[in-house]
Structures are given as structure tokens and as C-alpha cells.
Amino acid sequence: MADVVQELTDETFQKTIDDAVTPVIVDFWAAWCGPCRTVGPIVEDLATTHTGKVTVGKVNVDENQATAAKFGIMSIPTLILFKDGKPVKKVIGVRSKGDLEREFELA
């Protein structure tokens, strides 16, 4: 995983979101999920392309079930954009980099 993408856990999630100085995109995923493996490199590319403009984190839903439940994650991959510590946009499923940039207003 790219150094610009943070692994978030049930223990670190809220502090990371609250302390972020930029909007945060969180990728909820699992290792066994084929579509998640497709989205992973796209998310890493977003993190690299938009360094300083957005923070990117990943939550493994199998290992961090409390955080996944808190945000009602029923399908993966799910990406949620947080601004000022609050979820403001949710995208479910595989999307292209361009689609995600438009959805999250990064373009």
C-alpha cells in the first residue's frame, strides 16, 4: 500500500478523522473482496495525485467491525468522504478514478 494511504482501525479511526486538516476519504474493504482489489489501486492513485488536498484511509471491515457497523457498511467497497469529522458523501462499488474525483469534488 502506498505510504500516503493510512490503515485505520476501530481504535484509530475517530481520532484520525477528527484531527485531519483536509477532507478524508475512507475506503471500507476486505481482502477477500474482488471489487475491493480493483478499487484499491485507484484509491492509492487518488491519494498520490491529491496529496495535501485530501487524506486517504482504509478500513478492513473484517478486522474493524465496530467502525463498519457505525457507518452502516453493508456492501464493499464503500468509500465515504468526511469533512470536518462528519460523513458527507458515500460511494458504493467500483468506480473509475475520474468518477471518484467528480464524486468527491477533487477534479
Nearest to 24 by CA among 85, 99, 78, 97: 85
- Per the annotation, the verdict on 43 as an active-site residue is no
Q: How far apart are CA 50 and CA 64, in angstroms?
A: 26
Q: How far apart are CA 17 and CA 24, in angstroms?
A: 7
- Per the annotation, the verdict on 80 as an active-site residue is no
Among 24, 36, 81, 100, the one annotated catalytic: 36
- Report helix, strand or coil for 23: coil
Q: Which residues pair with 86 in a beta bridge?
A: 83
The catalytic residues are 33, 36
